Amino acid sequence: MRDGAFDQEEDVTENKCADEGDADPFVLPARQHPVDRPDPAMVRILDEQGHLTEHPSFPVDLSDDDLVKALEMMVMTRRLDVEATALQRHGELGLWPPLLGQEATQAGAWLALGGEDQVFPTYREQGLAHAMGVSLADILGAWDGTSHCGWDTVTTHFSAYPVMIGSGTLHAVGYAMGIQRDVEAGGAPAAVLDFHGDGAMSEGDTNEAYVFAASMNAPVVFVCVNNQWAISEPTKVQSPSSLFRRAIGFGIPAVQVDGNDVMAMTAVLRSALDHARSGKGPVFVEAWTFRMGAHTTTDDPARYRTAEEESTWGKTDPIIRLRIYLQDRGVIDQAWLDGLAEREEAFGAEVRAAVHENAAPVMAELMSDVYAEPTPDVLADAEEIASWEEDK
């Protein structure tokens, strides 16, 4: 990793007042780039054909074993998504937010995170949740209505899913400010990795989070997973220029990375998290990817985008490009892939079985973890709910 990859330079752009007689003093600078095309500065290390290139600011420090683990994680993440989508169609889940095509953003984060770092996810980081120790039953329990958050967010370092768009950004910054105080008291350095989507950048909560993070120099890395669609709204409806450029206006160093390139995601996030942990403040990372499936299982993307668009993005599949790279170098062979297919089938069976591990919740008990110490109002509500259940 190159030191200072996210250090802000002084006088990055030269500020000049328009000379008298200029045609239009309010023309946007030439460096602005359309939001619906990858920025020329986008970091890419492994291309769609599996060819590797070096990046001067973000060198790859991954062993072959790391890459094999990343490939297997992405395959299992995709299988979890396929199985959970089917479970919802069968009526065993109330809802499911598909993640097809976004596996590399999660595998890259998994490889980049430190042991003390905390993740604040969107509702789509299911593969990362499982890799960080959240059980399949607990993941599915959030979507079958049996629990709010069934896992220990401290032990797993994986926070609860936020359903309100953009709300997790404020939680993440608040947690990061808490880390600052822990470090001042002698605690170990750590950082927060916050995921949000492109649509969340239009939310007030998210923009307030950027303000607090920059003003307080909070150790947080924002990962904007730009999957091109905020439900049925394309990014060009929300912004005329690349999303990562907007973060610079808040005083946050920012970069766009190919979100379907697990090597680039890992290299950039490792550098960003190191930057945040070292006390240098927040970083914004735009992961340029595509939501191959629906927004949720209540959505029909065929109503607002074309099969041609999906086909084009399908050629950038993060699993295929890493598999090609590892096969071409002889790191894996067909025998290994056959074994992976067997493990994938067994994992699919585990997912299908896990949904039956969740018992119907006792409603009053759901109030027990609202606060660390229940307040009088919460206790009164729990008693009312318990009484109501007894009378049913």
More confident position, 370 or 323: 323
The owner of tokens 């990055």 is 12
Q: Quickly tell me which residue has 């752009």 as its tokens.
A: 13
Per DSSP bridges, beta strands 220-226 and 192-197 are parallel
Angle between helices 262-275 and 103-112 (to 10 degrees): 40
Q: Taking 60 as the threshold, does the pLDDT of residue 12 lie above it? A: no
pTM of the model as a whole:
0.91
Q: Could you say which DSSP state residue 194 is in? A: E
Helices (H), 123-256: 126-131, 136-144, 153-156, 167-184, 204-216, 243-248
pLDDT confidence band for 366 (50 / 70 / 90):
confident
Whether residue 30 has pLDDT greater than 70: no
Lowest mean pLDDT among 67-76, 103-112, 133-142, 234-243: 234-243
In percent, the amount of the chain with pLDDT more than 90 equals 80
pLDDT, one tens digit per residue, over 275-289 is: 999 999 999 999 999
Q: 247 near 210, Cβ under 8 Å?
A: yes
Q: What is the mean pLDDT of residues 109-116?
A: 98
Say how many C-beta atoms besides its own lie within 10 A of residue 11's C-beta: 6
Two structure tokens written together for 287: 């992961």
Structure confidence at residue 20 (pLDDT): 45
3 state DSSP class of 20: coil
- Evaluate if residue 84 carries a pLDDT over 60: yes
Which tens digits make up the pLDDT trace of 286-311? Answer: 999 999 999 999 999 999 999 999 99
Q: 333 φ, ψ to 5°? A: -135, -175
- 18 pLDDT higher than 60: no
* Whole-number pLDDT of residue 27: 61
- DSSP 8-state secondary structure symbol assigned to residue 241: B
> Could you give the CA distance from residue 343 to residue 336 in angstroms, rounded to a whole number?
11
Query: Can you tell me the mean pLDDT for 132-140?
Result: 97
Summarize pLDDT for 184-199 with one digit per residue, the tens.
999 999 999 999 999 9
Residue 31 confidence (pLDDT): 59
Q: What is the mean pLDDT of the chain?
A: 92
- 61-65: which pairs have CB atoms within 8 A and are 24 or more residues apart? 61/1, 61/267, 61/270, 62/111, 62/263, 62/266, 64/326, 64/329, 64/331
User: Tell me, what's the pLDDT at 125?
Assistant: 97
Q: Which of 306, 291, 161, 178 is nearest to 235 (CA)?
A: 291
Q: Is the pLDDT of residue 11 over 50?
A: no
pLDDT at 14 over 60: no
pLDDT of res. 362: 82
Average pLDDT over residues 269-275: 98
Q: What is the dihedral angle through the alpha carbons of 357, 363, 365, 371, rounded to the nearest 10 degrees?
A: 120
> What is the Cα–Cα distance from 356 to 156, expressed in whole angstroms?
23
Which residues are within 8 A (CB) of 100 and not within 5 positions of it... i.e. 6 or more apart? 78, 81, 82, 291, 292, 293
- State mean pLDDT over 7-11: 58
| pLDDT tops 60 at residue 1 | no
Confidence tier at 376 by pLDDT (50, 70, 90):
very high
Are the beta carbons of 34 and 236 closer than 8 angstroms?
A: yes
**What does the CA dihedral 347, 349, 351, 354 come to, rounded to 10 degrees?**
-130
Give the residue-averaged pLDDT of 70-81: 98
